[in-house]
Amino acid sequence: MTDSNESPATRPTYVAYSDDLEQRRPDEDKLIKKIIKSLHRNNEWAFKKYKHAIRDAHAKSHGILRGELTVSADLPDHLRQGLFATPATYPVIARFSTTAGAIRSDQIRGVRGLALKVLGVHGPRALPEFPEPTQDFVFVNRSEFPFADVHAYRWQGMLVARLLARTPDTLVKLGSGIMRGIGKVGLPLPPFAKLLTEPNHHPLGQTYHSAAPLRYGEYVAKISIQPSESVKRLVDQPAPRNTGYDADREMVVNFFRSNNAQYEVRAQLCTDPASMPIEDASVPWSESASPRLVVATINFPTQNADSPKRRAFGDDVLSFNSWRSLADHRPLGSINRLKKDVYEASSDFRHKMNKVERIEPTDIAELPD
C-alpha cells in the first residue's frame, strides 16, 4: 500500500471518466428483471422461515456504528474529487455484516461486508430518485466480485444466492470443508466456491473493497477501507476456536466497549480500461499499475455497537444502496447496474412486510444509542 504522496514524475496516467466507458449489453435489463424475480422468491422463503423480512444479501449484522469520516487535507488534484474534493468531516453510520441472505452461524466461512452511509453530503445526485444528501458505499472483504457481470450472475450467481439463502448450516459447513480440501491439494476452485473458503478473521481487521468500479469525479476508481492504528493488531486475527453462533458480533461489541477504531479510505484510480475493465467486476486491478491512495480517514469511538434499538434501526429501518450517491461517485458497470434494482426491490419488500417506515437519516442523532 502507498500513501497519497506520490511524485508527479512517477504518477500514472489516469483514465478520464466518460459515459462511453460503460457498454451495456442489449439483453441486460431483461436479465435483471429475471434475477429480481428469483431473488424475490428467496425474500419470500426467508420471511416464511423467520416470520420477519430480511435482506437478500448481507442479512446478518455484526454491529451498527457511528463515526466520523475526515477528508485528507492537501490531496493532489487527481484525488480531490467528489466527496473528497474539500477537507471536511462528515458523520457516518456503518453496518458490518455477513453477505449471505440468511441468518447463519458465524462458524460458517464466507465473505463479510461493510456498508457505509456518509451524512450531509450535498451536490448533484447520481439518480433523481435518491435526492437525500447522503453518500452510500457498499464494501466486501474481497477486492473483486466473483461474477463478471449480469450474465455471469444470472447463470452462476443465482445458484449460489439460492444455496446460501436456503441450505442448512450443517450442509454449508460441510461444503466449505470440501472446498478447502480441494484448494489445499492444489486443484483450481471456481470463483464462487472461494466464497465458502474465506477464513474467519476478526471483522474489524479486514480490508473492505467496493469490488466494482465507480466514478471518481473526473476519473474512475475502486474504493477500499483499510484498518489503521488501533485495529491493525486485528488484521488476520482468527476468530476464537470453536467460535459461537454470534462470534463476529461478540468480537465487534467487545472491542468497542473500551476501544476506538481507525480506518483509511483509499482510492485506486483506473489507468487502463483494458486491464482494469469497467464491465467485468471479476478482474483484479493491478496495484503496481495504480496503488491505493489515502483520501480520508474514519474514526469510530467507543460505543455500544449492538443495543436492541440500534440493531433494529440498522437491520429494519436503514437501507444501503451505492446508487444513493453523488453524481461524481456514480456506480459503474454491469454488476453495479444490477445492484441498483436488486437492492431497491429487497428494501421495498423488507420494509413492506415488516411494516417499518424506511428512513434516510440526516442527523447522526437519529441513530439510537
| SS3 at position 240 | coil
More confident residue, 196 or 333: 333
Residue 357 lies in a domain: yes
Using a 10 angstrom Cβ sphere, with 0-12 exposed, 13-18 middle and 19 or more buried, the burial of residue 241 is exposed
Structure confidence at residue 76 (pLDDT): 96
Q: With cut-offs at 50, 70 and 90, classify the pLDDT of residue 15.
A: very high
The pLDDT tens digits for 264-304 are 999 999 999 999 999 999 999 999 999 999 999 999 999 99
Per-residue pLDDT at 159: 76
What's residue 8's pLDDT? 60
Whether the pLDDT of residue 94 is over 90: the answer is yes
Position 10 in a domain:
no
Q: Does some domain include residue 290?
A: yes
Mean pLDDT of 79-93: 98
Q: Which among 108-112, 121-125, 199-203 has the top mean pLDDT?
A: 121-125
Structural domain range at position 168: 19-366
Predicted pLDDT of residue 1: 41
Q: For the chain, what is the mean pLDDT?
A: 91
Q: What is the pLDDT of residues 163-222, one digit of tens each?
A: 777 888 788 778 777 777 777 777 777 666 666 777 789 999 999 999 999 999 999 999
Q: How far is residue 284's CA from residue 209's CA, in Å, rounded to a whole number?
A: 11
For residue 287, what pLDDT is reported?
95
In a domain, 122, yes or no: yes
Residue with more model confidence, 3 or 85: 85
Q: Residue 273 falls within a domain, yes or no?
A: yes
For residue 145, the domain's CATH number is 2.40.180.10
Burial 46-76 (b: 16+ CB within 10 A, else e): bbeeeeebbbbbbbbbbbbbbbebebbeebe
Place of cell 465487534: 252
Q: How many distinct structural domains can be found in the chain?
A: 1
Collapsed DSSP state (helix, strand, coil) of residue 119 = strand
Q: Is residue 57 part of a domain?
A: yes
pLDDT at 7: 57
Say what the pLDDT of residue 85 is: 98
**At which residue does the C-alpha cell 479486514 appear?**
206
Contact 95, 278 (CB under 8 A): no
Q: Considering the domain boundaries, does residue 28 fall inside one?
A: yes
User: pLDDT-derived band of residue 2, with 50, 70 and 90 as boundaries?
Assistant: very low
